[in-house]
Structure 1
Amino acid sequence: MQNNNYNANKIVETGIMISITFVIIAMTAYVPILLELGMFILPIPATLIYIRHNFKLAFITIILSIILTTFLYNPISALVSGVVYGFAALSLGYYIKNNKSSSETIVAVTIATAIGKIIKFLIYAIFVSKAGIVQYLNMMVNQLHESLDAYKNIYIQMNAPKEAIDYVESVSKYVNLEMLIVILTLSFIIGGLIQAYISYIIIQKVLLRLNYVVEEIIPFSRVYIPNRIEALLIIIACIGIILNAKEFTKYSYAFSIVNTLVIFTLNLDGMAYLVYLLKEKGKLPKGIIIITVLLILFIPAISDLYLVFGITDIIFNLRKLDPNPIRKVK
């Protein structure tokens, strides 16, 4: 009798989570911005089912949610959205259920989400546009050029300063297939990281309400890039620069991605170091810290400070977070 009650509870909980997923999708279905925000929440119901029960029920939750979503979207759109949040939900559920650390969980969910986004792109390129991957990318490049040309014509009609028009033209020159591949790859990785971080925060708060013990997420001020990983990225980027100089351009896409990752990771570490200084050393309020970080980020004249902070922190291990420092600071 007790087993029957347990099975009934599982069915009820699964039904509730499927309904919640459908409601979230319905609320975000026709507003692109809300849809992007909804992707942070969509993995949560299936993640809860995984943690409270098992993989099988979580997988069923995702599949039935996709089927219900076809009433709002076409089947392809329902499938691709389900793939993205499904990968995130299953990896998040597995790592939390098996008591993995928050950093391991976020890395795993980042990878799973990035894979989901890549599958989504491939489905649209192959099955929706039916143009193939390369042709689909070329279509995107052409659309970007058309958009930039439209902006340029608007500036001309408004008698905008010549500098503004020249800037649009200079950006247009850099818009090509290689640049698009680099941007898409980084958007998959960085988008996956942001989704993993926010989804973990949300599921942590939900689970605490349900009296589950969940490891606290690492504060942003304690985020750091291990010097060995950064050194490896820099070495690969340098190899790419040398090969490009020797006109070995076969793998230029990969090296461009790594080069951009170097800049991103240095800036990320530098931003975390600044938050550490303002929060733990300066004891400033959260609001002032956020405003300061954003101001530096969006003011070109001083945004390079993050690079300087990042390089300095990685080399000298100023926060003493790296267990294998290049140089120990007393």
Structure 2
Amino acid sequence: MASFRDTRALVEGAFMAGITAMLGLLGMFIPPFFLVISMLMPIPLAVLVRRRDLKVAFLSLVVTGLLMMVIYPNPIQVLVMFIQFGPLGLVLGLLYKNYVSAGHALITASIVSAIASIIVITLGIFVTGLNLDLIQSALNESLNRVFTTYQEIGYPVPADQQALMRTSIKTSVLLLPAAYLIFAVFSTVLTYMVGSKVLKRLNYRVNNLPPFSQWRLPWYSIWGIILGLLFLLIGDKFDFSVVKIIGQNLLTIFGFTFFIIGLAVVVYYFKQLQLSKPFKIMLTVLLILYIGFMYMAVVLLGLVDTILNLRRPIQKKDK
């Protein structure tokens, strides 16, 4: 009987490996599908851990990697996808299996995803030799060709606009690691939500995420901002460009994180307002239109809420 169960588990693992490999290959052969694939790839592994165990899921992950290596001509790209989504699928499965609360599960999965992203970025730098300076140089060369073209057709770009565009490109390139990490964490949140739906359809118990208006961060999350400012100041003071870039990326990542929490606070109090529906719609439209101007205010709101829990007094009053 045990042998039959083991065989059945291996067959299920092979089936999940086939599904995962198919998803990965689809994402690599058809790049527009990659955004959706990045959310779906960890789910078969997570389901396998929940239904069976970590050993079967790990073997399935190895088979997935071998299948993709055989079919896809670029082993480095396969390795990158393997690192980015394999550990995340295994960890999500363990979180589901141990019925970890949704908040703690998301934080844990996001940390795993962030570590995997850092490994991928580091691997890309060592293997391809590509770095932020090379990317910036390539973009500046392209920009120079654009400026030359405009000059030749009689519409020269003013010097101040050229300088502004170069500065914008430099800033954007320096913050690419932060953008990649933010995307990875955002994808992880969606993966957790989709995985929860799948497991519920399979009649497994899953902890639901709290309403968005109740999303909070632990108080020690403020250390992300503190470290970002510290790295930035040290980099500026001693002219350590790498340290400064790390500080800028940390501030970008945690700034966006506290922006999300700030939006949760806004949504919470928005629900408490006794206003007509048309007026609420108008306020929502204004917030969306002027979000660029209000970004820092919402970030500060999220930061203050993380320290003081601005939503706690009303919650107690309602009880």
TM range (shorter): 0.7 to 0.9
Aligned residue among 210, 224, 242 for 1:218: 210
For structure 2, the 5+ residue unaligned runs are none
Three-state SS of the structure 1 residue aligned to 2:131 is: helix
Q: Deviations over 1:113-158 (max 9, x none)?
A: 222222223333323x2x3xxx633322222323443554566678
Query: What do residues 157-196 of structure 1 show as CA deviations (whole Å, max 9, x unaligned)?
Result: 7877968x845532413555x974x524323431232122
Q: What residue number does 2:251 align with?
A: 259
Name the CA distance, whole Å, in 2 between partners of 1:301 and 1:66. 46
Residue of structure 2 aligned with 1:173, choices 153, 159, 167 = 167
Q: How does 1:55-204 map to 2 (within 5 A)?
A: 55-70=54-69, 71-127=71-127, 129=128, 131=129, 136-150=131-145, 152=147, 166-167=160-161, 169-173=163-167, 175-176=169-170, 180=173, 183-204=175-196
SS of the aligned residue for 2:135 comes to helix
Tell me the residue number matched to 2:260: 268
Partner residue, 1:7: 6
Contact map agreement 2:24 2:81 (CA 8 A) in 1: no
Q: Is the 8 A contact 2:232 2:246 kept in 1?
A: no
- Kindly, what percent of the aligned residue pairs are identical? 25
Q: Distance in 2 between matches of 1:49 and 1:293?
A: 45
Give, as a single letter, the amino acid of the residue that structure 2 aligns with 1:295.
Answer: I
* 8 A Cα contact 1:111 1:189, kept in partner: no
Could you say if the C-alpha distance between residues 85 and 315 of structure 1 is closer, same or farther in structure 2, counting changes exceeding 3 Å? closer
> Contact 2:199–2:206 at 8 Å: present in 1 too?
yes
Residues 24 and 79 of structure 1, relative CA distance in 2, 3 Å threshold: same
Letter in 2 for 1:27: L
Q: Structure 1 regions of 5+ residues with no counterpart? A: none
Q: Structure 2 matches for 1:214-253, cutoff 5 A?
A: 214-230=206-222, 232-240=223-231, 242-243=233-234, 246-247=237-238, 249=240, 251-253=243-245
Task: Classify 1:293/1:139 alpha carbon distance in 2 versus 1 (closer, same or farther; 3 Å).
Answer: farther
Q: Is the 8 A contact 2:236 2:244 kept in 1?
A: no
Contact persistence 2:215–2:264 (CA under 8 A)? yes
* Bigger helix fraction: 2
Distance in 2 (alpha carbons) for counterparts of 1:106 and 1:302: 27
Stretch moving more, 149-158 or 208-217: 149-158
Q: CA RMSD in A?
A: 3.7
C-alpha displacement at 1:44, in angstroms?
A: 0.7
1:120/1:243 Cα in 2 relative to 1: closer, same or farther (>3 Å)? closer
Give the TM-score, by structure 2 length: 0.80
